[in-house]
C-alpha cells in the first residue's frame, strides 16, 4: 500500500500508452486510417495521457467537458480539471470523419503517428467559442473588461495565440497512444513517467513531496523555494518542462545542466529528485498553476510550490493570483474527483544585503534598495543583453553555464518584463 497521495480522479494512473504486441498491432492498423495532423501542444497532451500524467483523462474532451472546464473547472462527470484538453481539425477533414470512425494522429515535426483515436463527437469551434475559451482561461482578475484584455492579448499572449490559431472543429474521443516521441531518448536523464517518479519516492520512503515547476533556469529564488519545501516535506521534486516554450526561453537541456550544478553543490542530494515532463507551456497563469498541481498529484506530489507570478506572461496576471485561485475552485463530492495536491504558497523572495541572505516579504523588514529582486525572466533578459548580474543573483556555476549558452546565440529575442518586477 503506497503512502503517497493517490492519482487524480480516483481511478489510479490511467495510462493510454500501448506496449508489446498490442502496440505493434495498433501501429499496423494505423497505417490504414485517415490521418489528422496534430500541433505540438496536442502532442504533449497525448503523451501525458499515454503515461498517466493526465489521469483520469483517456481522450480529448467533449463539448460538455470543454464548457464545464471553462465555466466551472469541472468535466461533465464532475471531475475537477482546470484547462481544456482538446484536439482540433480542419473542417474539410472533420467533414470526412463519421462518429465512430477511428483516425490516426500524426506529428508532422517528428514524422510519426503518435496515437489512434475513436471519434465519439465533433463540435464546431467558432471565433466566438475560441474567444470565450481565451477569456475564461487566460484573462486575469486585474483585467477590467474583455475589451481591455483583447487590446493586448491577441498580439502579446502566446497562449491566446495558440487557442485562436486552432482549427475550426474539435474532435473528441478515447485515444491509444503509440509513442512518447523524442523525449525518452533526448531527455533520457530526466524524462519520467508518473509510475517511475512514484517508485523513486516510495523507495526513498517519502510521503509528503513538494513539486517545483521550472521553465526558466534555476536561480537563487528557485533554490530558496526548493529549500523551504525540503524543510517542511520529505523531499522536493524539481520538475522541468521539456516541451515547447516561447521565443527567448532557454532550452531544457541547458536548464537541466543548471539544476545539476545546483543540486550537486548546494543541496543534500538525497532530498532532491529531478524530473522532466513533455508539455508545452500554455502561459495560463492561475489556471496553469492548477494544472501543474493536478498532474503533479499524478506524479506523486502532495504539495505544489506556488510563488510569485506562477506560469505568468507579461502583465496579464496579478503577482499572487495563482495562489488565491486555489481558494476559489470547487470541491467535488466524490473525493477522488477533487484536487488533492495543495499549494505551498510562498511570498516574493529575494536576496537582502542587510539580512545577509535569502528572505521574503514576510521575513525581511528592509527596503527595496537593500534587495536583489530575482526573476528567471530578468535573468534571461540581462544575460541576453550581455549585461552584468548583480551580486547574489545567481550561483556562479549556473551563471557560467548560461553565459556559455548566450554567447553561442546568433539571434537575439526581445524579452519583456512584468511591470511589478521592474518597478
Instruction: Note the pLDDT tens digit of each residue in 396-419.
Output: 998 899 888 888 877 655 545 445
pLDDT value for 204: 97
Catalytic residue among 41, 215, 371, 395: 215
66 burial (CB, 10 Å; 0-12 / 13-18 / 19+) is buried
Spell out the CATH class of 190-422. Answer: alpha beta
pLDDT tens digits, residue range 343-374? 999 998 999 999 999 999 999 999 999 998 76
pLDDT value for 86: 98
Listed in order, the ranges of the chain carrying CATH 3.10.400.10 are 20-125+166-181
18 pLDDT tier (thresholds 50, 70, 90): very high
Mean pLDDT across the stretch 4-20? Answer: 98
377 pLDDT tier (thresholds 50, 70, 90): low
pLDDT value for 411: 65
Q: Is 327 a catalytic residue?
A: no
Catalytic residue among 170, 216, 244, 298: 216
Angle between helices 127-138 and 63-72 in degrees, nearest 10: 40
Write down the residue that cell numbers 516561447 correspond to. 246
Spell out the CATH class of 20-125+166-181. Answer: alpha beta
Q: Is 216 a catalytic residue?
A: yes
| 48/13 Cα distance (integer angstroms) | 11
Listed in order, the ranges of the chain carrying CATH 3.40.50.620 are 190-422
pLDDT tens digits, residue range 83-112? 999 999 999 999 999 999 999 999 999 999
pLDDT tens digits, residue range 298-341? 999 999 999 988 888 888 999 999 999 999 999 998 889 999 99
Amino acid at each position: 500500500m503506497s503512502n503517497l497521495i493517490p492519482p487524480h480522479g480516483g481511478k489510479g494512473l490511467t495510462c493510454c500508452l500501448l506496449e508489446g504486441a498490442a502496440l505493434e498491432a495498433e501501429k499496423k492498423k494505423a497505417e490504414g486510417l485517415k490521418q489528422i495532423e496534430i500541433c505540438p501542444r496536442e502532442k504533449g497532451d497525448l503523451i501525458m495521457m499515454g503515461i498517466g500524467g493526465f489521469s483520469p483523462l483517456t481522450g480529448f474532451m467533449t463539448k460538455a467537458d470543454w464548457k464545464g472546464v471553462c465555466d466551472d473547472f469541472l468535466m461533465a462527470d464532475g471531475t475537477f480539471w482546470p484547462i481544456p484538453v482538446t484536439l482540433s481539425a480542419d473542417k474539410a477533414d472533420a467533414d470526412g470523419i463519421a462518429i465512430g470512425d477511428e483516425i490516426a494522429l500524426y506529428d508532422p515535426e517528428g514524422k510519426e503517428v503518435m496515437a489512434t483515436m475513436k471519434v465519439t463527437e465533433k463540435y464546431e469551434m467558432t471565433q466566438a467559442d475560441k474567444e470565450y475559451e481565451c477569456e475564461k482561461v487566460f484573462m486575469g482578475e486585474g483585467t477590467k473588461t474583455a475589451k481591455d484584455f483583447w487590446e493586448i492579448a491577441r498580439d502579446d499572449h502566446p497562449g491566446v495565440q495558440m487557442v485562436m490559431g486552432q482549427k475550426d472543429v474539435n474532435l473528441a474521443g478515447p485515444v491509444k497512444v503509440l509513442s512518447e516521441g523524442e523525449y525518452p531518448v533526448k531527455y533520457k536523464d530526466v524524462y519520467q513517467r508518473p509510475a517511475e517518479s512514484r517508485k523513486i519516492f516510495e523507495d526513498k520512503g517519502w510521503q509528503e513531496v513538494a513539486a517545483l515547476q521550472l521553465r526558466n533556469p534555476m536561480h537563487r529564488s528557485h533554490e530558496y523555494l526548493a529549500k523551504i519545501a525540503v524543510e517542511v516535506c520529505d523531499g522536493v521534486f524539481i520538475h522541468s518542462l521539456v516541451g515547447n516554450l516561447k521565443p527567448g526561453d532557454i532550452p531544457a537541456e541547458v536548464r537541466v545542466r543548471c539544476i545539476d550544478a545546483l543540486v550537486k553543490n548546494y543541496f543534500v542530494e538525497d532530498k532532491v529528485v529531478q524530473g522532466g515532463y513533455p508539455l508545452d507551456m500554455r502561459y495560463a497563469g492561475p489556471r496553469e498553476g492548477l494544472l501543474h498541481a493536478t498532474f503533479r498529484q499524478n506524479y506523486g506530489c502532495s504539495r505544489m510550490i506556488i510563488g510569485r507570478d506562477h506560469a505568468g506572461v507579461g502583465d496579464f496576471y496579478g503577482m499572487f493570483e495563482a495562489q488565491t485561485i486555489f481558494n476559489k475552485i470547487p470541491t467535488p463530492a466524490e473525493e477522488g474527483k477533487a484536487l488533492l495536491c495543495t499549494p505551498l504558497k510562498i511570498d516574493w523572495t529575494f536576496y537582502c544585503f542587510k539580512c545577509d541572505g535569502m528572505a521574503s516579504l514576510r521575513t525581511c523588514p528592509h527596503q527595496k534598495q537593500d534587495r536583489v529582486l530575482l526573476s528567471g525572466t530578468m535573468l534571461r533578459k540581462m544575460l541576453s543583453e550581455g549585461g552584468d548580474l548583480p551580486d547574489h543573483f545567481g550561483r556562479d556555476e549556473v551563471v557560467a553555464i548560461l553565459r556559455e549558452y548566450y554567447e553561442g546565440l546568433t539571434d537575439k529575442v526581445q524579452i519583456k518584463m512584468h511591470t511589478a518586477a521592474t518597478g
